[in-house]
Chain A
Amino acid sequence: MRNPFNVTKASEFSDEQINTYWVSMGDTNVLEPMDYTPRYILGGKGCGKTHLLRYYSYPLQKLRWGSFGNIVANDKYIGIYSVLSTLDASRFEGKNVSEGQWKALFKYYFELYIGSFLLKTLSEYIESENGVEKESCFVKMISELFLKRVELEKYNLKALVEFVEVERKNIDFEIENVAFTGSFNNVQINLKAGELIFNIPKIFCEVYNELKDMKFVYIMDEYEKLYDWQKRYVNSLVWEKQYPSTFWIGARKYGYTDMHTESGEELKKGSEYSPFFMDEYFQQNEKEFDTFARELIRKRLKRADPEAVTDLEAKFRSGKEDVVNTIMESKKGNYKHIKNLITEIKLAIKKGLVVDREQDIQTIVDNLKADTEDNPLLQKYKIYFFYQLWADKNHSTLIDYSVLVKEEFRKYKKGEETKYKNIVEKYKNDLIAQLCEENGESYFAYSGLADLIKLSWGNPRVLLLLLKKTIEKAEVFQEHPLDSGGQISLKAQYLGIKETAGWYLDNAELTGKRGSYANTAIKNLAEYFRLYRFSDKPTDTSVCAFNYGTENVSQNARDLIRMMELHSLLVKVDNERKQKNSGKAETTYQINRILAPNWNLPSSRRGVADFSNTVIESLFNFEHFSSFDSEYVALKNRMNAPFVKNEDQIQQKLF
């Protein structure tokens, strides 16, 4: 059986495959053809926009209903699908031609381009038995829309389409030519804006009265590939929409930048258009995404081989709970965290930061290991408590702290109320992650189908890629993942996840200098979060989000954070947290879950780091990137033994 998750992009699907693999978004009717409000379907790469938009397009309607008549009878609309990137927006600029000329030419070209799609779609009815009688009447009425009279040899649709195509070709020729000549030779704008787009549907419904209630939906994908002034033109059409037409526009979030029309009016959300953020919807409705994801998987498996795997979940080995035993067996008490602890105490003694003596070290270690029966996680809990006491610096000795840690742990084991309850509850995941990293057992970090669905966080393409990659890895390891009795090991899952996470980071479609700033920022942010996960004494648990006050943040930093949000590197978390110090409601962002495996960070958010303005600037303001290192070192020193603010403090203690 071939990997059923090999194809991860809707653009590679045929119309028939789009239909077969279609999964609805539960009870949510994202696109309601009977509602005339134009819709902007927005989302990050791979959120399923193209699949959704193509599903509602005429070729798919035809697959479902067979004939034009049946489509109209059942759906009551036709979806005219076009991909705006095909226009090659960049052709309409520069080359010594004025902006005004380009704008006029683009509008005319746009009319011809969309008009041509529409006429070709309608030809199926007009040239049919039902429509041919009124064909010449329809064609005559359309030809009268042109400013300069259109003389056709025969007033049939074929001739009209040919005319429109020739007009379009002439413009293409002029555009190519102007690159060499710097001026247009023979361009005549022969239509007013919106003339074909709005009037062809009107005339069609008028001439073919039997279809008078039919609706026309212009489905325009890849709106983000247009220039801003071109987007404003499309917005103008949306604003001026005329019965029986409306628009559904698909765009990447980063392309949804300007909702103004050409005349400067701003489209009013709700009444004049309605945006729908696909990935945000799923991010906020995780249960629905889980159902959606499982149905998506079921359809892929069924299509690949109806008799083969039905329960993919059972194939995934899950093993977070096994990691402690695995480490116990492999390390036999010889743990890195004990070695690290000894090194840190020795260093603190040597630098005069504590009053303990070298000969006390063994006693300290024995106290911290006591009653743990060599269980590395229990030792980690104790050591964490020890570091807490050390960091608090209440002028006691390390040996005294270790005694307190030992005594409290005994009480904890007897079931008495102690600080350990809180430590276990809050820090278990981080401490397991530390054990995994220290002992080279990273495979345990993420496992199981449920983890994969969570990691993909509302993005079907990420989910498909995670599945594709984990199955590929399992095949390499000869685990026969899709055969009866086969499985997907933790190693295969981990490697598949890591590769997908790497792909997401490397292919975030960041361009220009701001793109490279975003790259730097996400990497620095991850390093910052790693301190919270892998330090001796993290101040918060499972940190993969940050909170900050927006008031005094520079424009540079705001812009970069916004850009990273639009490119789905950061996700604005929908909660109403308050900053610990100021008490003000602040903005909270989480690193996209699928990025977390790149740095072995937690994917589920528990703690949120409160960032000061200085930290925000060092992370997101390119002019202050150079201060990141000092901010990083300061935090590192605060979270790691011997818990000093900086090297100067060490020197002061010494002398």
Chain B
Amino acid sequence: MDFTKFYKSSFNPDEEFDCPEYDLFISAYDECDRTRIPYDKVKAKRKLWMLFPQYNYKGNPPAEDYYTNSSVRESDFFKGFYELFDTVKLREMIICIDSTGFLRPHLLFLMAYFNRIGLKQIDVLYTEPGRYSKADETAFSINIDSVRTVDGCSNTPVTDEEMNDVLIVCSGYDEKLFSAVASYKSNCRHKYHIVGFPSLQLDMYQESMLRFYKIKESIGSSERMFAPAFDPFVTAQTIDDILKEIPKVSNIYLSPLSTKPQTIGMMLFYLYYKKLKPVSILFPFSIEYTSGHTEGVKRTWRYTIEFPAQGN
């Protein structure tokens, strides 16, 4: 599998969007320019905001069409979503998700759902921030409540005599998330963390390194790998490359804790290999999240995700 052959392009969000007209456009409502600009500019027959209860919105709900559910767990949140569409028609739609404001587990679950119902491909947008407002002190999640596999992204664990489990983390700004995942899977023999490099902004790499240093000892020996923070396809390829180097792998745990593009990359790897390898996706969950950590917008990416056939 060569993930780098997937299609991506980028453009200035202040200018005309380089996108086709979609049947359905889904974005997460987080009251930021980074999601509002694409929402206004993308052409689609139907646009739908997702309102996640974890964001604890203070203001009024959007005037536009939106979907929400009070359940925080990703599989429960989308329960009513299925009823909005006829599955057969949905399968034929041209769909775009703006991943920018999405909660990562919800993004993963939605992608898994689209793959499951047989969609062949979707476009996913991501708009880079100008910068994180509090630099390396930025905290996204408030308190980590539990670490678990993302619904719809689990697999059959291997029971070998000598366990040779691997944990691969896309590590980002929130170092406590990494620490929580490493602690949950403390029995993993091999640990890797993929750092976003080039990062979204020049100083982001250094800032995330600073944060990583704080938790180094909790994680134990973890090998550092690199993949561009904006590139899901190189991320997926990097995971593939890592695993080729480890003989007799037992269980593989992926944990997307960095940018949305890298999260998409992990999901892509999962979808393509879930039938072939014991791969699962782990995530440290919080009851509440905060949004609006960024200032400005830089560029918007469009990734075309071709799903594997269901038989894969």
Contacts and interface: CB of A to CB of B under 8 A. Distances in A.
B280 A88 contact: yes
A167 to B, nearest CB: 11
Nearest to A170: B156
Contacts of A176: 152-155
Of the listed residues A172, A506, A511, the one surrounded by the most CB atoms of chain B closer than 10 A to its CB is: A511
Interface in B51-92: 73, 75-76, 79
A542 interface: no
Given A90-B149, A176-B154, A179-B75, A511 B143 contact: yes
Given A91-B154, A175-B154, A512-B145, A15 B162 contact: yes
B11 interface: no
A515 B145 CA distance: 9
Contact of B79 (A45, A83, A182): A182
A172 B279 CA distance: 12
B180 interface: yes
Given A182-B79, A511-B146, A59 B161 contact: yes
A11 interface: yes
Contacts of A175: 154
A91 B251 contact: no
B162 A11 contact: no
Contact of A222 (B149, B155, B187, B189): B187
Contacts of B188: 11
A169 B280 CA distance: 14
A12 interface: yes
B217 A465 contact: yes
A168 B143 contact: no
Contacts, number: 121
Interface string A1-29: 00000111101101100000000000000
**Chain A, interface residues (CB within 8 Å), range:** 35 or more
B243 interface: no
Contacts of A82: 159
A7 B161 contact: no
Interface in B22-76: 73, 75-76
A12 B152 contact: no
B152 A180 contact: yes
A227 to B, nearest CB: 10
Contacts of A7: 220-221
Contacts of B162: 14-15, 59
Nearest to B286: A512
Given A121-B161, A511-B180, A12 B189 contact: yes
B85 to A, nearest CB: 14
B187 A85 contact: yes
Given A180-B113, A507-B179, A11 B218 contact: no
B107 to A, nearest CB: 15
Contact of A168 (B116, B154, B156, B186): B156
A113 B158 CA distance: 9
Nearest to B155: A172
Contacts of A90: 146, 148-149
Contacts of B165: 86
Nearest to B288: A513
A6 B217 contact: no
Given A8-B217, A88-B149, A113 B179 contact: no
A426 interface: no
A134 B189 CA distance: 37
B144 A511 contact: yes
Contacts of A509: 180, 183
B188 to A, nearest CB: 7
A117 interface: yes
A515 B143 contact: yes
Interface in A556-580: none
Contact of B151 (A95, A121, A513): A95
Contacts of B293: none
A59 B163 CA distance: 10
Contacts of A503: 217-218
A279 interface: no
Nearest to A113: B159
Nearest to A87: B157
Contacts of A500: 217
A15 B162 CA distance: 8
Contacts of B143: 511-513, 515-516
A116 interface: yes
Nearest to B285: A90
A179 to B, nearest CB: 4
Interface string B154-180: 111101111101000000000000011
Interface in A496-545: 500, 503, 506-507, 509, 511-513, 515-516
Interface in A170-189: 172-173, 175-176, 179-180, 182
Nearest to B149: A88
B159 A117 contact: yes
B184 interface: yes
Nearest to A173: B156
Contact of B73 (A94, A221, A222): A94
Given A59-B161, A511-B145, A172 B156 contact: yes
Contacts of B154: 88, 91, 172, 175-176
Contacts of B186: 9, 11, 85, 222
B19 interface: no
A507 B148 contact: no
B161 A88 contact: no
A120 interface: yes
Contacts of B214: 506
B203 to A, nearest CB: 23
A12 B217 CA distance: 13
A225 B187 CA distance: 12
Contacts of A169: 156
B109 interface: yes
Contacts of B151: 94-95, 179
Contacts of A418: none
Contacts of B277: none
Interface in B83-119: 109, 112-113, 116
B90 to A, nearest CB: 13
Interface string B175-211: 0000110011111110000000000000000000000
Interface string A78-110: 000011011110110011100000000000000
Contacts of B215: 506-507
Nearest to B183: A509
Contact of A507 (B156, B157, B217): B217
Contacts of A45: 183
A3 to B, nearest CB: 12
A9 B191 CA distance: 12
Contacts of B146: 90, 511
Contacts of B280: 88
A50 interface: yes
Contacts of B75: 94-95, 179-180
A471 to B, nearest CB: 14
Contacts of A83: 163, 187
Contacts of B79: 96, 182
Nearest to A171: B156
B150 to A, nearest CB: 9
A58 B162 CA distance: 10
A96 B184 CA distance: 25
Q: Closest 7 CB pairs between A and B?
A: A90-B148, A179-B151, A172-B156, A179-B75, A507-B218, A179-B152, A9-B220
16 contacts: A6-B221, A9-B220, A11-B186, A12-B220, A88-B280, A90-B146, A113-B157, A169-B156, A173-B156, A176-B153, A179-B151, A180-B112, A180-B113, A506-B215, A512-B143, A512-B144
Interface of B: 73, 75-76, 79, 109, 112-113, 116, 143-146, 148-149, 151-157, 159-163, 165, 179-180, 183-189, 214-215, 217-218, 220-221, 251, 280, 287
